[in-house]
Amino acid sequence: MMVIMKKGYSQAELDSLLSRLEEIGLSGHPIIGVEQTVVGVVGLVFPELKDELETMVGVDEVVRISKPYKLSGRELKPEDTIVNVNGVLVGGGSNVIIAGPCAVESEEQLMATAKAVKAAGAHMLRGGAFKPRTSPYSFRGLEEKGLQILAEARKETGLPVVTEVMSIPDIDVVARYADVLQIGARNAQNFNLLEEVGRSGKPVLLKRGLASRIEDWLLAAEYILAQGNRQVMLCERGIRTFETATRNTFDINAIPLVKKLSHLPVIADPSHGTGKWYLVEPVALASLVAGADGVIVEVHPNPDHALSDGAQSLTFENFEHLARSLAAIGQAVGRPVAGKQMAAAGG
Amino acid sequence: MMVIMKKGYSQAELDSLLSRLEEIGLSGHPIIGVEQTVVGVVGLVFPELKDELETMVGVDEVVRISKPYKLSGRELKPEDTIVNVNGVLVGGGSNVIIAGPCAVESEEQLMATAKAVKAAGAHMLRGGAFKPRTSPYSFRGLEEKGLQILAEARKETGLPVVTEVMSIPDIDVVARYADVLQIGARNAQNFNLLEEVGRSGKPVLLKRGLASRIEDWLLAAEYILAQGNRQVMLCERGIRTFETATRNTFDINAIPLVKKLSHLPVIADPSHGTGKWYLVEPVALASLVAGADGVIVEVHPNPDHALSDGAQSLTFENFEHLARSLAAIGQAVGRPVAGKQMAAAGG
Amino acid sequence: MMVIMKKGYSQAELDSLLSRLEEIGLSGHPIIGVEQTVVGVVGLVFPELKDELETMVGVDEVVRISKPYKLSGRELKPEDTIVNVNGVLVGGGSNVIIAGPCAVESEEQLMATAKAVKAAGAHMLRGGAFKPRTSPYSFRGLEEKGLQILAEARKETGLPVVTEVMSIPDIDVVARYADVLQIGARNAQNFNLLEEVGRSGKPVLLKRGLASRIEDWLLAAEYILAQGNRQVMLCERGIRTFETATRNTFDINAIPLVKKLSHLPVIADPSHGTGKWYLVEPVALASLVAGADGVIVEVHPNPDHALSDGAQSLTFENFEHLARSLAAIGQAVGRPVAGKQMAAAGG
Amino acid sequence: MMVIMKKGYSQAELDSLLSRLEEIGLSGHPIIGVEQTVVGVVGLVFPELKDELETMVGVDEVVRISKPYKLSGRELKPEDTIVNVNGVLVGGGSNVIIAGPCAVESEEQLMATAKAVKAAGAHMLRGGAFKPRTSPYSFRGLEEKGLQILAEARKETGLPVVTEVMSIPDIDVVARYADVLQIGARNAQNFNLLEEVGRSGKPVLLKRGLASRIEDWLLAAEYILAQGNRQVMLCERGIRTFETATRNTFDINAIPLVKKLSHLPVIADPSHGTGKWYLVEPVALASLVAGADGVIVEVHPNPDHALSDGAQSLTFENFEHLARSLAAIGQAVGRPVAGKQMAAAGG
C-alpha cells in the first residue's frame, strides 16, 4: 500500500499517519521526493484500510499494491494445490467431471442419474438435499433424507458426493454423509459459515457470489484456509450483469486469471453460468481449454419434470455427449479425463 | 402465469402440461384461440416454475404475471405496516433517523456517539458488534462485549439499538441486547438466517443484497414474514454496478417502487450506498423526498481513526447538519421528524 | 500518475521509463526510497497510459492520481458554469424544468403539450425530431418537419427548444431550429459527433451513456469543451444494471459527486432514469434536493397513444403536479423555480 | 406479442386496443377465456410497443414473444451466412485469425507486424487509423496516412484489411482503403453510422456495445442488413460489469447463444474482452470451442511502447504460440484453420 501525501502536508500530519500505522501493526516508510512524498506501508493490510487512511488530514490518496489475500495467493504458495476427494484428484490441470441433479427428489431419480453419469464417465456425484431458493414457497429439498439417498448412491457407484450446506447447524449432518461441502453463491460471503466449514476439515467447493469480484472470492476462500483447511476448490458459476438472455454471465476471464493469482483448483459450473441446457456443453468445453480443472453440471433423468433448474439440466444422452467431448478436447490439450480406475478408487 | 403453447402442439402435450400443473398444486385454464392457445395458471407459482415448464414439449414460452411474493406485497395488505421499536414508529411516511458508528470500538467511542446523535435528534442507535468483513484479517467487532456497550448506551440515552446478527448461533445473544436485528447485505439471501430471525419475533432491518433485484429482496422479506414476524423494515443500501467512483450505486428508484409494491417501511442507508461522507447528506435528503421512511447513517467521533468505514462516516457536526436538513425538508413535504418525546418513549 | 518500480529494477529500466515519458511530452520524477522507488509523472496524462507503462520491464504498477479531465474539472475552474439558453440560466443552483414529448408526432400534439407545460411552469421545451431507436422498425421521428413544428411552438410559447442531434450531417439543420443540441445516451461516446457539436457553438445537453462511468462522462464533455464551446449541461439519465424492475438505474450519487468534481450544470432525466411515469415525480424531487440544476421530463397529451416512451410520460395533470412540487421543495431548499418572466425572456 | 387484459376490462377498452393495433399496421386476435382474455398480436412489432400498450386502460400486461429482429435471425434464414472478404471466408464454422496492432503508428511498425502475423498464419490484418479514445488528449490515430500504410501492407502480404470507421463523413475514405469496415463498441448504437456502412456495401465487423444486451446487438446488425448489406460479422468484445480485475467481462455465453439465434458469423475479441495479454490465448481458445468463427487479436512489435492498448497486445512470439494453439484445437474440434492458400487468395 502506498499513501500519497498532499502537497504542502505538515510534518505533524505525516507523524500522525506513521503512528496510526504503527497502532494497527503496520510500518510506514516515507519516500520523500522534491515535489511529492509517498509513504510505503509494510505489513498485512486489509481492504478497508484504504478508506480509513484517505480520511486522514494531509493524505491525498491511498493506493493498494499488495493483494489482500495471502493463503489463497500464489505468492505464498506457487505450486498448484491438489485436492484429494476420496482418491479423485482435483487441481494442477485435472479434467474432472461432477454431475447429478440440482436437487435430490427421490431414490429412483438419484440412483438412475448416479448410474448414468458414472457410466458416462463422471468422477463425482452432485445433488442438493438442502436447497437455497429465492422464494420460501419453492421446493427446498429432502434434507437428511436426501443425504441418505446420496450416500446410498455413493455406495452403489463409488462416486464421491458433493452437496450444499446452507447453515452452521447443518454442517454436522451434511459432513456425515458428504465428501465435499459446497458453499452456494448466496452464501459466498456468509463469513461465519465459511469459517465453520473451514473447521470441519472436509474438502469445500466454494461458489463465487453473484456480485463477488475476484478479490472478494479469494478473500472468501481465505476464511476457510485460515482455519487450517487447505482443501478448497473454487467454482465459477457466472455473475449477475445487465444481460437477460442468459441466467448469469459466465466469467470465462476469471478462470485463467484465478489460476494465475491462486494455487487453488477452479471448477466451472456452466449449468448455473448459462441457465440454458443447450449452452452447457459449449461453455463447459470453453472452460476446460481456458484452464478449469473440471466442470460441475446438472443432469436429470427427465428435465421436463425437474423440481428445480429443469431448464439448465442435461438429459442422460446430452451428458454422455458432453463427457465424450470433454475427453476429446482434454486429449487435444494434454489433459485427458481421469480414467475409470481413478473414479472407482474413490468408492 | 401464462403458458403459450407452440403452434401445432398436440392434445397429449396440453394434457401433460395440465396434469403436471395439478401435480404441483396449481390449476391450468386453457384459452384456445384460432391461431394460438394460451394456458392461464392459477395458484401460488414460484420463480423456478417458468424455467421448468419451458422445457416441456409443446410449450413455446412461459410468462410470469402475478408477483411471486405474497406477504410482503400490497395486494394482500394494502395499508402500510408500521413497525414499533420500543415506541419509535417506523413506516407510513415516518422520518426516522438511525445513527451511530459502523462498529462499536470502545465504551468511550460509543457513549460519546450515542449522546451526540441523541442530542442532534436521532431516534435509534446503530453500531456493529459482529462485523462482516471481506477479509478475515480485518477488525471483526467486539462481539458480546460490543452488545453490552450498546445496551449501556441505550440505558443512558433511551435510544433503541439496531445491530447486525450474522449467524444462527448468535441470534440468542444478539436478541438479548438489541431492539432490532439487522441482516446485512452479504446475508441478504442467507435463507436459514432469515427464517431464524423471523422466528425470533424481534423487529428486523433487512438490507438489500449487492446483487438483489427488487423481487429477490421482497422474497427475502417473505422468508421472515412467513414465520409470523411482521416487523420487517427494508433497507436500500446501494447495489453493485460498473461505476467505481462510488462504493455502491444507491438505487433511488427502488424507494418509491418498493413503497408501491410493498406495505413494509423502507429505510435508506446513504453511508454504504455512496461510501463517501460528503455524499451522505444529499442522498439522505433525496431518499426522504423519494419516499423513504427514515435513514440509517454512520457517525463517528473521529472518522479518521474509525476501525471501519471511516471514509463514509459523518462527524458529530456533519450529523447535526444532516438532522437539521432532514427536519427542514421533512417539514416541507409534510413529514416532520418525530419529536424527542417519541424517541424518549423508546427508552 | 505514480509509477511503482519492481523491487530489484535496474537503472537501465528506470532510464528507459524516463525517456519514454519524455518522448510523449511528460516528465518523470523518481522518488528513491530504501525499499521502494516510485516515479511521479508530471504532465497531461491520458487514461491508456497506465496500461502502456505497466507493460514496461521493471515497472510493477502504475497508479493514476490526477483526474484525466481538465476543462470540465473544478480544479481548473472552481466556480459554477452558468449556461444561458436564450435567457434561461442553467447552473449554479438553478431549478429549471425542461418538458415535452419524447417524439414530435404532429403539430397538434406538440403545440398542445408546449402550451400545457408552459402554463404549468416549464422553462424549455423538449421533443425529438430525430429519434434513436434500438430497432430500425420503430418510429424514428419526423426529422426536419419535426424541427419546424418545434420552432413554431417556441414562437408561440417563448420556450427555448431542446432536441437531439444524432449525426454530423444533421448538425446544421438541427442547429438552425434548436436552442440546445442534445446528445443522446447511445451517442455519449461518439467522439466525432461530440467535437462537431462543440464546434457548432450551440449549448449542448450531454446525456450520460448507459455504461459510462462518471469519468467517461466528464471526458466526453471534455471533447466538446476542448473545441471552445463552454455551454455544456450534463444529463444523468440512469445507467444499465442488473435490476430489471425499472428501465434504468437512476444514479442519484452521480448528481452531488459530479457537482463536486465539475463546474458544469447537471440536469436529471427521471423519465428515462426510471421508465415508469409514477416514479418520475419522486425521482425528480430527489434529484433537486441532491443538487441537480434542473430536470428534463417527458409529457404527452395522451401517453396511451404516444409513439414512443408512453409508459414513462406524464399527463398534463401529472406534470402540473410535478411542477408545483418542484417549486415547493425548491422553496424549502432555497432554490425557487425561476419565474415566468425569465422563461418568457427566452422567446 | 400477447396483450393480457385486466380482469373486468370493458368491451370498449378491448375495441380501443384493437383499433390502436390496426392504426400501426398490426392485427389483434382476442383469445377469450372464462377467467382471462388475451390478445395475440400479429405483425412486425417493435420493442417500444410493449411500453406503449401497457399504458392503455384495460390492459394488464404485455408480453413479447416473437423476437424483434428479423433479418439477423435464424427464423428467416436458417443457414449460416458466409462473409467473403477478398477470398477469406468467415462463418459456418470457420477458424479465421485477424491480427495487428491496435493503432497504426508508423510504416515500420505496421509492416513488421503484418509480415509477422502473416507468417504465423493470420488471415486478415487489423489496425486503427481513426481511434476512438475516451479522452481527447490521447493519441487518436494517423487517419488517412494510417489507411495508406494499411493498404501498402495488404499489397505486401495479401492480407485483407480491417479498420474502424468512426463517423459518416469518414466512410468514403475508409472504404477506399479497407476491406472490412469495423464499427467500434462505442458506436454500437450509432444508428445513422450503422445505416451508412450498410449502404456502403462493404463487409462490416460490428462490435457489441459495452452495455448492449444480445437483443440490442442483433438489432444493431438489423440496421446494416436492412440496407441490403448482408456481409455482417458480429464481434463479441466483452461487456462492462462490476468486475474490475479485467478490463471487460468477456461474455462467452453470447457466442453459442448468438450462433443459435442468428445466422451471422461471430468473431471473438479477447484482447479487449480481457485487457490483459496473458488472458488473450486462453480466452481465444475458449471462444473457438464455444463456436466462434474466428478471433481478432492485438499484436505489436513492442507492446511496451504501443501508443494504445499495450497491456493487451501480444508480442510476435506470443502470437505465433496462439496461432499454433488455435490450429491444434481447431483440428481437434473439426475446424482446422484455413490454409495459407486461402489467405493468399485474398491478396
Judged by average pLDDT, the poorest of B261-265, C16-20, C119-123 is: C16-20
Query: What is the pLDDT at residue C35?
Result: 67
Give the per-residue pLDDT at B34. 66
Mean pLDDT value of segment C296-314: 84
D33 in B contact zone (CB under 8 Å): yes
Q: Give the mean pLDDT of B175-185.
A: 98
Q: Which long-range contacts (CB under 8 A, 24 or more apart) does C182-186 make?
A: C182/C126, C182/C207, C182/C235, C183/C207, C184/C132, C185/C209, C185/C210, C185/C237, C185/C272, C186/C132, C186/C210, C186/D189, C186/D190, C186/D191
Q: Which of A135, A187, A219 sits opposite B190 (nearest CB)?
A: A187
- Average pLDDT rounded to a whole number, residues D297-317: 85
pLDDT of D253 > 70? The answer is yes
Q: Which pLDDT value is given to residue C34?
A: 66
Q: Mean pLDDT of all residues in chain A?
A: 91
Q: Could you report the per-residue pLDDT of D55-88, keeping only the tens digit for each?
A: 788 888 887 766 788 899 998 899 999 999 999 9
Cβ–Cβ below 8 Å for C135 and D51 = no
Closest by Cβ to C40, choosing from A36, A40, A242: A36
| C-alpha neighbours within 13 Å on the C-beta side of residue B211 | 24
Segments of chain B assigned E as strands = 2-5, 27-32, 37-42, 59-63, 83-85, 88-90, 96-100, 124-126, 161-164, 180-183, 204-207, 232-236, 266-268, 294-298
Q: With CA atoms as reference, report the closest residue to C347 among C25, C89, C86, C35.
A: C86
> Which residue among C211, C241, C289 places its CB closest to the CB of B282?
C289
A260 touches chain D (CB under 8 A): yes
SS3 C141: coil
D151 Cβ contact partners less than 8 Å away, ≥ 6 residues apart: D161, D177
Task: Give D-chain residues touching C138 at CB under 8 angstroms.
Answer: 46-48
Separation of alpha carbons A131 and A163, rounded Å: 10
**Nearest-by-Cβ selection for C213 from B242, B257, B287:** B242
Asked if pLDDT for residue C63 goes beyond 50, the answer is: yes
CB contact under 8 A, A309 and B51: yes
Decide which of A52 and A157 is more confident.
A157
More confident residue, D48 or A121: A121
Residues in chain D, how many? 347
Q: Is B302 on the interface with A (CB under 8 A)?
A: no
> Which grid coordinates belong to C162?
431542446
Q: How confident is the model at residue B57 (pLDDT cuts 50, 70, 90)?
A: confident
Among B36, B61, B244, the residue with its CB nearest the CB of D40 is B36
Residues in chain A: 347
Nearest residue of A to residue D279 by CA position? A256
pLDDT at C326 over 90: yes
**Residue D219 forms contact with C (CB below 8 Å):** yes
Test the C interface: residue of D186, D307, D315 with most C CBs within 10 Å: D186
Record: contact A191-B136, CB cut-off 8 A:
yes
Q: Which of A201-205, A333-337, B196-200 has the lowest mean pLDDT?
A: A333-337
Bigger pLDDT: D335 or D236? D236
Mutate which of A249, A258, A289 to test chain D, going by most D C-beta atoms within 10 A? A289
Grid coordinates of D99: 491480427
Record the pTM. 0.92
Query: Nine-digit cell at B70?
Result: 405474497
Task: Name the least confident of B72-86, B159-173, C2-16.
Answer: C2-16
pLDDT for the residue C340: 42
Q: What is the pLDDT of residue C346?
A: 36
pLDDT at D342: 43
Output the pLDDT for position C136: 85
Give the mean pLDDT of D259-286: 97
Question: Which of C44, C166, C215 shows the shortest C-beta gap to D137?
Answer: C44
Q: Does B213 touch chain C (CB under 8 A)?
A: yes
Percentage of chain B modeled with pLDDT above 90? 71
CB contact under 8 A, D241 and B242: yes
Question: Residue A347: what pLDDT?
Answer: 32
Helix (H) or strand (E) holding A42: strand A37-42
CA distance C107 to C190: 31
Question: pLDDT-based confidence at D217, cuts 50/70/90?
Answer: very high
3 state SS of D151: helix
Question: Which among C278, C252, C248, C245 has a CA at the least distance from the CA of C266?
Answer: C252
- Lowest-confidence range among A337-346, B92-101, C149-158, D298-307? A337-346
Average of per-residue pLDDT across B137-147: 90
List D262's β-bridge partners, or say none. D73
The lowest-confidence range among A83-92, B17-26, C260-269, D257-266 is: B17-26
D241 CB near a chain B CB, below 8 Å?
A: yes
Q: Which has the closest alpha carbon to B85: B200, B199, B205, B167?
A: B205
Q: Does D303 touch chain C (CB under 8 A)?
A: yes
For residue D341, pLDDT beyond 70: no
Shortest Cα–Cα distance, C185 to chain B (Å) = 16
Chains touching C by CB (3 or more pairs below 8 Å): A, B, D
* Contacting residues of B for A275, CB less than 8 Å apart: 51
- A43 near B CB under 8 A: no
CA distance D205 to C180: 34
The pLDDT assigned to C181 comes to 98
What is the C-alpha separation between C114 and A62, in angstroms, rounded?
A: 52
HEC assignment per residue over D82-146 = CEEECCEEECCCCCEEEEECCECCCHHHHHHHHHHHHHHCCCEEECECCCCCCCCCCCCCCCHHH
**pLDDT confidence of residue A159:** 98
Q: Are the C-beta atoms of residues C211 and B242 closer than 8 Å to each other?
A: yes
Q: What is the DSSP string of A161-227?
A: EEEE--SGGGHHHHHHH-SEEEEPGGGTT-HHHHHHHHHH-S-EEEEPPTT--HHHHHHHHHHHHTT
Q: Which residues of A touch B26 (CB under 8 A)?
A: none
| pLDDT at B342 > cutoff 50 | no
**Mean pLDDT score of chain C, rounded to an integer?**
91
D56–chain C Cβ distance below 8 A for any pair: yes
Residue D344 has pLDDT above 50, yes or no: no
pLDDT digits (tens, 9 = 90+) for C195-207: 999 999 999 999 9
Render pLDDT for A33-77 as a digit per residue (tens, 0 to 9). 666 788 878 776 776 788 778 878 888 888 776 678 889 999 889
- The residue-averaged pLDDT of B295-314 equals 85
Binary contact (D192, C166; C-beta < 8 A): yes
Whether residue B346 has pLDDT greater than 60 = no
- Among D38, D240, D249, the strongest candidate for a mutation testing the B interface, having the largest count of B CBs within 10 A, is D38
Pairing relation of β-strands D204-207 and D59-63?
Answer: unpaired
DSSP A336: P
- Across the interface, do D4 and B36 touch by the CB < 8 Å criterion? no
CA distance D208 to chain A (A): 12
Give the neighbours of chain D: at least 3 Cβ pairs within 8 Å.
Answer: A, B, C
pLDDT tens per residue across span A267-319: 999 999 999 999 999 999 999 999 999 999 999 998 877 777 778 899 999 99
Residues A180-204 have a mean pLDDT of: 97
Burial class (CB in 10 A: 0-12, 13-18, 19+), A339: exposed
Sheet holding B2-5, edge to edge: B27-32, B37-42, B2-5, B59-63
Question: D52 and C308 in contact by Cβ < 8 A?
Answer: yes
Residue A111 grid cell? 440412483
Residue C107, burial from CB neighbour count under 10 angstroms (0-12, 13-18, 19+): middle
Burial status of residue B320 (CB atoms within 10 A of its CB: 0-12, 13-18, 19 or more):
middle
What own/partner pairs with CB < 8 Å and gap ≥ 24 does A16-24 have? A16/A56, A16/A57, A16/A58, A17/A53, A17/A56, A17/A58, A17/A59, A20/A53, A20/A56, A20/B304, A20/B305, A24/A49
A134:B216 CB<8 A:
yes
Confidence of residue D42 (pLDDT cuts 50, 70, 90): confident
pLDDT for B62: 85
- Predicted confidence (pLDDT) per residue in A196-242, tens digit: 999 999 999 999 999 999 999 999 999 999 999 999 999 999 999 99
Interface contact C26, partner A, CB < 8 A: no
Best probe of the D interface among B31, B54, B59, by most D CBs < 10 A, is B31
Are C245 and B215 in contact (CB < 8 Å)?
Answer: yes
- Separation between Cα atoms, residue B295 and residue B285, nearest integer Å: 9
Q: Residue type for A326, please?
A: L
Least Cα separation, residue D6 to chain B (angstroms): 11
Q: Chain A residue closest to D216 (CA)?
A: A243
With a threshold of 0.95, tell me whether the complex ipTM lies above it.
Answer: no
Which amino acid type is present at position B123?
A: H
- CB within 8 Å of chain D, chain A residues 161-190: none
CA of C339 to nearest chain D CA: how many angstroms apart? 33
The pairing of beta strand B2-5 with beta strand B59-63: antiparallel
When mean pLDDT is compared across A321-330, B298-307, C180-189, the lowest value belongs to: B298-307
A219/B136 CB distance under 8 A: yes
**C-beta separation of C90 from C293 below 8 A:** yes
Higher-pLDDT residue of B34 and B205 is B205
Radius of gyration of chain D (CA): 23
pLDDT at B217 over 50: yes
Cα B345 to the center of its chain, rounded Å: 25
Residues D43-49, mean pLDDT to the nearest whole number? 72
Per DSSP bridges, beta strands B96-100 and B294-298 are: parallel
